[in-house]
Chains A and B, each alone.
Chain A
């Protein structure tokens, strides 16, 4: 699959005094995709998006939009648009006038403006009566939709989002996440979304870019980021994870503390002689058996580790177990409710998984 690039960023730097907020950012955004930039607060993601829409100027580097250099173009002349974290709706205007604002600026006549605003209300599942409502009469979710409608009325080449859902309660957020994804599919526009919430990113995105301290750690499809993280940071950022240090001696023999590897598995790990790495396995890919290990349904584990059960937590749809590993580390196992493990705290347990369910992170 060859994607067409719509936005190309090369060697982007942003410094505030002695502090470097963005460190040589390179990024390609593809036509029509939903790209989410995820990072903890302070990772520079808001700074980055402000450079994209022109609210700030880069210290160095270039931004190209469909072959046109835009990093020197002022915000009001860029064909991009952003949905703010605060939404930034105009409190002195009605819903209708908010949505019509970009059309009014570009000189569209009143009748066409009104029709377009009503169409957008339909698109965002808002009743047409909202046209004359005032912003402060709208609920949080409704304001969200008005902000989206206003941005869509601008008809931007790329629509940027700066954590617009972060202020909403959990259920509304979940609903709007799905609506956003649906809206993306229906409009066919390119969406670039920033958030600190991994869940949000996973639900909506085609691709995810993980940001840390002003650099990208990894960019790729959501599945790849989740199951094949490029670094320990990404692995841990993307949810609960079990990590085991592994090392290959110069003669190729693999040492992995506490892990029992089936014959032939060590060679298939892909660890080069003399190199070190981290073996990563997600809690839901681990099966747990009592003591020496009674037969479990499914494929036989190829890698096992012993430990002691510490606690059981009820997560609603799933159950989580905390297990103390051989060197005292905290390991996590998750199963569906139906797969409840009958043991009690203190029991000796064996955790196991197959080679294709774990991933080797090189380095460290």
Chain B
């Protein structure tokens, strides 16, 4: 009976496995194959020469990569600090209000990211909502608040907040109340409870939230384009340019592979450090 169940399980999973192989694995393999092709070819029937990787090192692409990773790291760190109290409130303090908060945050996802970012452009630009009103009221204007690195990080923080908030709230809800109370009873201050009890016990949520925001922010392109006005060029932008304007598929593929390798390594390390079963609701 059990063997039949297992076979039926494999059988029912087959369509999904095929779909994943075709839509997820196949493009990845194609990209990996293209990345080793000679420069500016459009088919895979060439002698691999890895010239795209050499090109990647010669040109200043590492700068774009550093900007992407740096800004992703900054926004992840900011989001972690910003979302902790909010997630704590959602998980532990106002239980009834949590639904309203959840709906509110999720609702922002209903509007396309680009449109929301354009909203910020209109708010922050010279003659926009903020500067325009200040000039109208005081007679003193100032420069546009856009087109700098901090505003790109702000954009990343704004767009990826839900991806940090919900895993974090889930993680914090796994911290038993009595463990916190016991720590306090045994003399621990608020800070010690946070560090010794809450952070380790909420670790799966913290890791998932950080990975999601970091991975998404590393691949983000709209924030630097719209809010940053390309004051810096991010790696995703370089990949896009290589494929379209540059007409150099192997270069674009090589860039993509490097990005995948870096982000993939970080993700694997992160996932291995915590017990993901716990956050999926399975008890140890």
Interface residues of A (CB under 8 A from B): 53-55, 74-77, 80-82, 84, 86, 88-92, 101-102, 104-106, 136, 150-151, 154
Contacts and interface: CB of A to CB of B under 8 A. Distances in A.
17 contacts: A55-B184, A74-B184, A75-B185, A76-B189, A77-B187, A82-B185, A88-B182, A90-B197, A91-B179, A92-B200, A92-B203, A101-B186, A102-B186, A104-B196, A105-B187, A151-B186, A154-B187
A53 B196 contact: no
Contact of A106 (B183, B187, B201): B187
B176 to A, nearest CB: 7
B201 A105 contact: no
Given A90-B197, A92-B200, A105-B192, A53 B185 contact: yes
How big is chain B's contact interface, by range? 10 to 19
A75 B192 CA distance: 14
Nearest to B174: A91
B184 A75 contact: yes
B6 interface: no
B284 interface: yes
B178 interface: yes
B188 interface: yes
B181 interface: yes
Nearest to B189: A76
A88 B178 contact: yes
A150 B182 CA distance: 10
B107 to A, nearest CB: 34
B184 A84 contact: no
A77 B185 CA distance: 8
A359 to B, nearest CB: 40
Contact of A88 (B176, B187, B200): B176
Contacts of B184: 55, 74-76
Contacts of A105: 186-188, 192, 196
| Most A C-beta atoms less than 10 A away, residue of B181, B200, B201 | B181
Contacts of A75: 181, 184-185
B181 A88 contact: yes
Contacts of A81: 185-186
Contacts of A76: 184-189
Contacts of A151: 186
Contact of B179 (A74, A77, A90, A104): A90
Nearest to B197: A90
A77 B25 CA distance: 57
A101 B201 CA distance: 15
Given A75-B185, A82-B185, A90-B182, 9 more contacts: A81-B185, A88-B179, A89-B182, A90-B183, A91-B201, A92-B200, A136-B284, A154-B186, A154-B187
B185 A55 contact: yes
Contacts of A106: 187
B164 to A, nearest CB: 22
Contacts of A82: 182, 185
A154 to B, nearest CB: 5
A81 B201 CA distance: 22
